Amino acid sequence: MMELLSSILGLYEERADWFAGLLADHVTLALCAIAMSLTIGLLLGIWISEHPRIAPAVMGVCNVLYTIPAISLLGILIPFSGIGNETAVIALTIYGIMPMVRNTYVGLTTLDGDILEAARGMGSTRLQTLLRVKLPMAAGVILAGVRNMVVMTISVAGIASFVGAGGLGVAIYRGITIYNPAMTAAGSILIALLALVFDLILGKLEKYFKKRGS
Partner 1 sequence: MGEPVIRFEKVSKAYGSQPVLKEFSLDISQGEFLTIIGRSGCGKTTALKLVNGLISPDSGRVLVKGEDVAQADPVRLRRQIGYAIQNVGLFPHMTVEKNIAYVPTISGTAGWGKAERRKRAQELLTLVGLPADLGGRFPRELSGGQRQRVGIARALAAAPDILLMDEPFGAVDAITREQLQDEILRIHRERGLTVLFVTHDIEEAMKLGTRTLVMEEGVAQQCDAPSRVLSAPATEFVEKLVCRRREPEVRV
DSSP 111: S
For residues 108 and 45, is the Cβ–Cβ distance under 8 A?
A: yes
Using CB under 8 A as the binding rule, whether residue 79 contacts partner 1 is answered as no
DSSP state of 123: T
Q: Does 205 bind partner 1 (CB under 8 A)?
A: no
List strand residue ranges (DSSP E) for the chain, in order.
none
- Binding piece for partner 1, criterion CB under 8 A, among 21-29, 48-56, 122-130, 187-195: 122-130
110 binds partner 1 (CB under 8 A): no
- Residue 53: count other Cβ atoms within 10 Å of its Cβ: 7
Cα 36–41–42 angle (5° rounding)? 105
The binder of partner 1 chosen from 16, 115, 176, 201 (CB under 8 A): 115
With CB under 8 A as the contact rule, the residue among 109, 128, 155, 180 that binds partner 1 is 128
Residue 130 within binding range of partner 1, rule CB under 8 A: no
Burial of 17: CB neighbours in 10 Å, binned 0-12, 13-18, 19+ = exposed
Q: Which residues contact 124 (CB under 8 A, 6 or more apart)?
A: 132, 133
Residue number, 111 or 192, with CB nearest to partner 1: 111
Distance between CA 104 and CA 8 in Å, rounded? 41
Near partner 1 in 10-69, by CB under 8 A:
none
Cβ-based neighbours of 111, under 8 Å, separated by 6 or more: 134, 137, 138
- 210 is an interface residue for partner 1 by CB under 8 A: no
From the CB of 128, what's the least distance to partner 1, in Å? 5
Q: Quick check: 119 binds partner 1 (CB under 8 A)?
A: yes
Residues 6+ apart with CB under 8 A from 129: 116, 119, 120
* Residue 117 binds to partner 1 (criterion: CB under 8 A): yes
Pick one of 58, 133, 189, 192: the residue that binds partner 1 (CB under 8 A).
133
Residue 208 in contact with partner 1, rule: CB under 8 A: no
Choice from 64, 65, 203, 212 touching partner 1 (CB under 8 A): 212
- CB 109 → partner 1: shortest distance, Å? 17
Interacting residues toward partner 1 by CB under 8 A:
112, 114-115, 117-125, 128, 132-133, 136-137, 139, 212-214
